[in-house]
Structure 1
Amino acid sequence: MYKEKTKLVVTQSQFEKLEEYVKLIEFNNKHFNLTGFSGDILWKEGIFESISTMNFIVKMIKGDKNELKKVKILDIGSGAGFPSIPFLIANPEIDLTISESMRKRCRFLKDVSEKLAIKFTLICKPVQEINNKNFDIITARAVANLEKLDQITRKFQSPKTNLAFIKGPKVFDEAKSCKNCNYQIIDFINNLDKKIYIVTK
């Protein structure tokens, strides 16, 4: 069902790459513990939701998707590649950097880049060790609580950098526990009729 829905929002060649990407996830998942998603849930929660959520974030921040080729995105702790890899496949003009400190998952992401012939910068170490601070958008999904995310991204925070963390309903409890955090919580209903919370600054 959601595989077919995804087909409606990307080109045929992009859809074929997404199919190959899903096959890579399913094949490697048992070895690398990439995600709890499988089958149609993988297409729904992993692929379709990543594309729709990142589309919302970029439109919210940049206002115009035509500006995508100028957008530099950092995805923290991407794991299987959510949300950035599906978004990159659908929007190959973005400048994507992924920070993934777990070796097995980093190896998987390298494999994805080579086998799908998609270009992104992969940094196989904690985000705190990244020296480049020049990003337009920093995102993370299912990585850490808000206080931890605030700590590990503090060196990147500037008027030119937009933080956009993807969260579920527990974000309100996390916000209460995050001292000296000054974030805005934006909710939207994605194409799955599911409420997503974007924490931004």
Structure 2
Amino acid sequence: MEEAYSLPIIGEAAPDFQAVTTHGPMKLSELRGKWVVLFSHPADFTPVCTTEFMALARANDELEGLNVQLVGLSIDSVHSHLAWVRSIEEKMGVKIPFPVIADLDMKVARRFGMIHPGQSSTATIRTVFFIDPEGTMRAMIYYPLNNGRYIPEIVRLVKALQVTDQFKVSTPANWQPGDKVVVSPPKTAEEMERRGEEGYECKDWYLCFKQI
């Protein structure tokens, strides 16, 4: 049971895996060059998960524009996934464009710490993993079984991570694209003295913002 508690580490390589999906066989490392948002859901044909899948499907075009591949997962068979995806399209009018991993043996779920026995030993909790184009784990969000995710936050965090990488800055609380970003604090007394001359909006020597 200890394997159920193993967690990926932010800043380290995401655990590679091979899996069967609704789009055919998939190997995580074959997605290098793209950002990957890997998310799990407790079970097919359940109400909260259905609302999440529809919301993620609607966000898929924007995520694809950010070079993101969405990948879903639950401990269900590929036949169950296919039937559920078809049901969502027929009954809800929403086509699911991303692959969904069938993880009946729980191998992927255990490698990513998606099984929390305090919630369920037979279903994955709602996890979201953000993996960059080099295969490095950049962020993780965990939700309980009963509460659906806020999909705009998933999109926002991808944008924040990409801004951080491109401009070597940080993003403050509640940051949205177009907002000012945070400049790294000075590391020496000399840098601290120069800070006021660098054109930043500074609240104090350690807290400065700039527009990008």
Same fold by TM-score, threshold 0.5 exceeded?
no
Q: Which has the higher strand share?
A: 2
Q: Which has the higher helix share?
A: 1
Tell me the TM-score normalised to structure 1 length. 0.30
Q: Looking at both structures, which has the greater relative contact order when contacts are Cα pairs under 8 Å and sequence separation is at least 6?
A: 2
Structure 1 or 2, whichever has the larger Rg, is 2
Tell me the TM-score normalised to structure 2 length. 0.29
